[in-house]
């Protein structure tokens, strides 16, 4: 495997070994959706789950590196916008940007 151009971290809501955070409740399938959509688009992207990012009030939370961009309230529609934004030509709606 080549080094990915982008690493997308999806909050997996893990806390002390249990899945319990709000992201899990509101983002069922988001990890799988991003993984499959990135593959369908032929993007050189790695998608990983994380533990709770302690930003549950903003969940579901997704982070994109190396840009260091944090996104909130990510739905499949927002996930599409995030993938569209990886080439820098499309912006994710400001309402979903947590930090850039």
Would you tell me which residues interact with ligand FES (CB under 6 A)?
A: 11, 13, 21-23, 52-56, 59, 61
Pick the closer one to ligand FES by CB: 29 or 42.
Answer: 29
Distance of closest approach, residue 87 Cβ to ligand FES, in angstroms: 27
Helix %, strand %, coil % of the chain (to 5)? 30, 30, 40
* Smallest distance from ligand FES to CB 27, Å: 8
What are φ and ψ of residue 79, in 5° steps?
-60, -40
- By beta-carbon proximity to ligand FES, the closer residue of 11 and 86 is 11
Residue 9 or 86: the one with the smaller Cβ distance to ligand FES is: 9
Q: Report the nearest approach of ligand FES to the CB of residue 78 (Å).
A: 15
């Amino acid at each position: 495997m080549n080094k990915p151009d982008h690493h997308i971290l999806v909050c997996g809501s893990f806390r002390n070994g249990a899945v319990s955070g709000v992201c899990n409740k509101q983002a069922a399938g988001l990890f799988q959706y991003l993984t499959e959509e990135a593959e369908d688009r032929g993007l050189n992207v790695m998608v990983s789950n994380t533990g709770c990012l302690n930003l549950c009030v903003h969940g579901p939370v997704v982070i994109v590196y190396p840009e260091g961009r944090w996104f909130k309230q990510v739905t499949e529609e927002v996930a599409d916008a995030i993938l569209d934004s990886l080439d820098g030509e499309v912006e994710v709606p400001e309402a979903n940007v947590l930090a850039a």
